[in-house]
Chains A and B, each alone.
Chain A
Amino acid sequence: TQLLEQSPQFLSIQEGENLTVYCNSSSVFSSLQWYRQEPGEGPVLLVTVVTGGEVKKLKRLTFQFGDARKDSSLHITAAQPGDTGLYLCATRAGGTSYGKLTFGQGTILTVHP
């Protein structure tokens, strides 16, 4: 099973600040997903990246997949309180896994008004 390490574990910032969270592995990802989990809810998919060096934007969120496909980052510009939540990266478990995912431990983001 591929181990995904996320950092930082906790992040507390003021509204309007920028931030970056990271997802790293010692192995090469075939592809990677980012999920956001709001308090009291289940995780929801934000994006899937599949190509080394790929950059995807979702409003104020920018996702980057490392050239070597061993790391990924999520950058949020001008954070808002609505961005508060747990950010999880995930990748497909190896072999015939019928869609089984391996998740990182997550980054808990709190954006203060």
Chain B
Amino acid sequence: DAGVIQSPRHEVTEMGQEVTLRCKPISGHNSLFWYRQTMMRGLELLIYFNNNVPIDDSGMPEDRFSAKMPNASFSTLKIQPSEPRDSAVYFCASSLDTGGLKTQYFGPGTRLLVL
């Protein structure tokens, strides 16, 4: 079975440009999570969805970040305009949440470098 799919795997852009990261969760999973990972701050939860509905976006740094999940098989994280401090690895994860502590399945990540 395919795992969580993220694209692109690497992105290099210039400050001020719009960046769109894409995620396809595992089929049948009902929760989707976007994380950012840096050496300084570790793994930070940005936003998560349940049944395509955003539940908690308190981790989104500022208005430059937005996320959507138009259907159960696709989500995007957009940064507009991008800044050098946004450089990080962005992970998407999905899980089947039926209560209790469930496994989150992570994608391979998108390595973003903003120059």
Q: Which residues of A contact B (CB under 8 A)?
A: 30-33, 40-45, 48, 50, 88, 91-92, 97-101, 103-106
Question: When the two chains form their complex, are residues B50 and A98 in contact, meaning their CB atoms are under 8 A apart?
Answer: yes
Question: When the two chains form their complex, are residues A101 and B104 in contact, meaning their CB atoms are under 8 A apart?
Answer: yes
Query: In the complex the two chains form, what is the Cα distance from A88 to B102 in whole Å?
Result: 15
Query: In the complex the two chains form, what is the Cα distance from A91 to B50 in whole Å?
Result: 18
Q: Which 3 A-B pairs have the closest CB atoms?
A: A42-B106, A99-B97, A98-B50
Q: Which residues of chain A have C-beta atoms less than 8 A from B55's C-beta?
A: 98, 100
Question: When the two chains form their complex, are residues A44 and B48 in contact, meaning their CB atoms are under 8 A apart?
Answer: no
A48 and B101 in contact (CB under 8 A), knowing A98-B48, A103-B42? yes
A42 and B108 in contact (CB under 8 A), knowing A99-B95, A106-B42? yes
Closest residue to A100 on the B side, CB-wise?
A: B48
**A-B Cβ contacts below 8 A, count:** 59
Where chain B touches its partner, the secondary structure class is: strand
Report A50 CB to chain B, min CB distance, Å.
Answer: 7
Report A77 CB to chain B, min CB distance, Å.
Answer: 25
Query: In the complex the two chains form, what is the Cα distance from A40 to B93 in whole Å?
Result: 15
7 extra A-B contacts, CB within 8 A, seeds A43-B91, A92-B100:
A42-B4, A44-B106, A48-B103, A88-B43, A91-B101, A101-B45, A106-B43
Is residue B25 contacting chain A, with contact meaning CB distance below 8 A? no
Q: Which residues of chain B have C-beta atoms less than 8 A from A31's C-beta?
A: 100-101
Question: When the two chains form their complex, are residues B108 and A92 in contact, meaning their CB atoms are under 8 A apart?
Answer: no
Closest residue to A101 on the B side, CB-wise?
A: B104
Report A46 CB to chain B, min CB distance, Å.
Answer: 10
